[in-house]
Amino acid sequence: MKVILFGATGMVGQGVLRECLLDPEVSQVLCIGRSPLGRSDPKLKELLHKDLYDLSPIESQLKGYDACFFCLGVSSAGMQEADYRRITYDLTLAAAKPLARLNPDMCFIYVSGQGTDSTEQGRVMWARVKGATENALLALPLKACMFRPGIIRPLHGVRSKTPLYHAFYVVLGPLLGLAQWLFPRQVTTTEQVGKAMLKVAKQGVPKPHMEPPDITSL
């Protein structure tokens, strides 16, 4: 299986990349991003591309892939809706549309989040924008699956790129372990997210929206 990964430098993406590289059924992982990963692996191919809103200059390198794990995203904290939408909706669709055209059978997994608002009408800005993004992806000719994790516990040295969240994980790390022990279906780990994505890509999309218990049960 050949996989394209967006957001591999981030917390979720680092965890997903680890699982892809460990999986014997994955022959290649193409990481596309604006920042270097700073690591190498025989299965790993890296494409540095500054403008992810326009993949046309690298389109010839995007054919022949079975799955795309889209782990790129930002926190909405302190952002205006238009700016958050440009990164969350516009950038995701700018990647998904050419991929759907180039790889019509592709499984496309998008990381949104628990509480995403499929109606696009609610009062919570991030949830509306993520809901619109999910709906647009589900309308594309792709085998699309929306992952909606809640609390994710970073494992195996994975760290958030968002400084505030990184500090949160350092301070509250032990409590997250306890939370996972108390609520094993609700709290996921970066390892579980990666393994669940691989299972969906291999076995097919079980349902369009995967809530935390769906992810942990996979």
Ligand X SMILES: NC(=O)c1ccc[n+]([C@@H]2O[C@H](COP(=O)([O-])OP(=O)(O)OC[C@H]3O[C@@H](n4cnc5c(N)ncnc54)[C@H](OP(=O)(O)O)[C@@H]3O)[C@@H](O)[C@H]2O)c1
Report the distance separating Cα 218 and Cα 214, nearest Å.
6
Candidates 162, 217, 190, 132; CA nearest to 12 is 190
Residues near ligand X (CB under 6 A), total: 22
The set of residues, in sequence order, having a beta carbon less than 8 Å from that of 29 and lying 6+ positions away, is 2, 3, 4, 5, 17, 20, 21, 41, 43, 44, 45
Report 42-81 residues binding ligand X (CB under 6 A): 52, 71-74
**Smallest separation (angstroms) from ligand X to the CB of 147:** 8
Report the distance separating Cα 191 and Cα 54, nearest Å.
31
| Helix residue ranges, H only, 86-162 | 91-102, 125-138
- Which of 4, 31, 109, 111 binds ligand X (CB under 6 A)? It is 111
Q: Does 113 bind ligand X (CB under 6 A)?
A: yes
Q: Does 177 bind ligand X (CB under 6 A)?
A: no
Q: Of 19-27, 160-168, 170-178, 206-214, which segment contacts ligand X by CB under 6 A? A: 160-168
- Based on CB atoms, which residue is closest to ligand X, 13 or 131? 13
**Smallest separation (angstroms) from ligand X to the CB of 104:** 25
Q: Does 11 bind ligand X (CB under 6 A)?
A: yes
Amino acid identity, residue 59? E
* Residue 12 · residue 193 · CB < 8 Å: yes
Q: Does 197 bind ligand X (CB under 6 A)?
A: no
Please report, as ranges, the residues that interact with ligand X according to CB under 6 A. Answer: 7, 9-13, 33-35, 52, 71-74, 87, 111, 113, 149, 152, 160-162
